[in-house]
Amino acid sequence: MTDQNPQQPPSPLEDLARRVGTMGGVAEAEIRRIIAYLNDEVVPGVRKQSFTALRRAGEQLTRLADELEKGPKR
């Protein structure tokens, strides 16, 4: 017995579903690339700058405490 129904083109709904599925895969790959970039490039720089800023703030607070100690005593 042979197949009597020749292959029909996909319906518009099936075509839309296929395209959305393809776009979803592309979007997922792009999101993974962005996350990798953030983890590899952005996060280390932000951490380094944060450490530097905290150290500078600590130094300034130490200087402020020294100045307050030297101030007039009541």
What is the C-alpha to C-alpha distance for residues 57 and 11, in angstroms, rounded to an integer?
Answer: 65
DSSP 71: S
pLDDT at 3: 52
Distance between the two ends of the chain, CA-based, in angstroms? Answer: 109
5 vs 65, more confident? 65
Find out whether 18 and 10 touch, Cβ atoms under 8 Å: yes
pTM: 0.52
Confidence of residue 32 (pLDDT cuts 50, 70, 90): very high
Percent of the chain exceeding pLDDT 70 equals: 89
pLDDT at 17: 84
